[in-house]
Amino acid sequence: MLTQCQTETRPPVAGIQAELSAGLCASQASIAPKFLYDPLGSKLFEAICEVPEYYPTRTEAAILARHGADIARAVGPGTTLIDLGAGNCAKAASLFPLLHPDQYVAIDISWDFLQESLARLRQRFPHIEMTALGQDFSARLDLPANISPARRLFFYPGSSIGNFTPDEARCFLRRARAQCETDGGLLIGIDLVKDEQTLSDAYDDALGVTAAFNLNVLRHVNQLLGADFDVRGWRHQAFFNRLEGRIEMHLEALRDMLVRWPGGSRSFARGDCIHTENSYKYRMSAAIGLLEQSGFQATNTWVDPDEWFAVIHARA
């Protein structure tokens, strides 16, 4: 029987302005990385995945393609595939012919982009029951009642786990673990530590796509908060912080300025920075440790020949 289920929820707006305002007024000004993903930000991220310097997407895709049969054996058929940060849903869709999921749940904070992506996917795979959830899953993970509790496979590709601090990552993974009842699991992509030039080039590509992605967050904040950021007054910065084991993205003020929004303002001096993203890189042992500290048991790991990226399956 062909079934098609649509449960669609918009992310709640309450609290977003308070969160943004608090970040901008903190001694080290920051904007949480989830705000990078408005409809244009999601498209720019898709473009980042195409630039030669950004190796994670194609490296992970090659691992999934090369080891697909092994991955399918480890996971088994008939899962409820829960795609965390689904974006254009392309990675999960590439697994459908291997994993044969019964249900597909796509979760993303970028609601409009997700809806468009899922509408296309429904046409290609009409036999899979699909659910779209517009949710900020970094804060909480709510699955509606129509999602089967058994055989849930959380799919968290692209090393998005690296955008959390290790403590936040453990909290997040524990929340996912708590949503696994019978026979649940996790299939996760994690970017591994490598030479610093490769890392910093990946976040500062020659075409300036990552710069546009980073700067676009200011347009999004203007829209969400009613702020008056002048995008031309800022420049993209990305570097590897060796001590913390992470790439950091910042926006640097090119001149002194006052930024205003309803109920608040902040002055920035030339050279001041707004921290917009961390992207942690793990050693394999630390990646497995992170999963185990969160209640998962790693069963299989797959890497590319250069050992730049890992895909790990873990049981709940």
Q: Using CB under 6 A as the criterion, which residues of the chain lie in contact with ligand AVI when the complex forms? A: 48, 56, 158-160, 162-163, 203, 210, 277, 279
* Structural contact between residues 290 and 167, judged by C-beta atoms closer than 8 angstroms: no
Work out how close the CB of 71 gets to ligand AVI at its nearest, in angstroms, rounded to a whole number.
20
Nearer to ligand AVI, 56 or 134 (CB): 56
Nearer to ligand AVI, 158 or 184 (CB): 158
Measured from the CB of residue 36, what is the shortest distance to ligand AVI in angstroms? Answer: 7
Q: Where are the alpha helices (DSSP H) in 1-143?
A: 16-25, 39-48, 55-66, 68-75, 90-99, 111-124
Residue whose beta carbon is closest to ligand AVI: 279
- Cα within 13 Å of Cα(303), Cβ side: 14
Helices within the chain (DSSP H only): 16-25, 39-48, 55-66, 68-75, 90-99, 111-124, 166-178, 196-202, 209-225, 284-293
Nearer to ligand AVI, 21 or 57 (CB): 57
Q: How far is the CB of 163 from ligand AVI (least distance, A)?
A: 5
Tokens matching residue 165: 């601090």
Task: Provide the minimum distance between the beta carbon of 48 and ligand AVI in the complex, in angstroms, as a whole number.
Answer: 5
Q: How close are the terminal C-alpha atoms of the chain, in Å?
A: 30
For residue 208, give the 3-state DSSP assignment: coil
By C-beta, is 88 or 279 nearer to ligand AVI? 279
**Residue among 261 and 280 whose Cβ is closer to ligand AVI:** 280
Smallest gap from residue 249 Cβ to ligand AVI (A): 6
Which of 123, 125, 42, 146 minimizes the C-alpha distance to 86? 42
One-letter amino acid for residue 304 of the chain: D
Nearer to ligand AVI, 21 or 88 (CB): 88
Q: Please identify, using beta-carbon distances, which residue of 30 and 163 lies nearer to ligand AVI.
A: 163
Among 301, 273, 309, which Cα is nearest to 70's?
Answer: 301
- CB of residue 227 vs ligand AVI: minimum separation in angstroms? 22
Q: How far is the CB of 298 from ligand AVI (least distance, A)?
A: 20
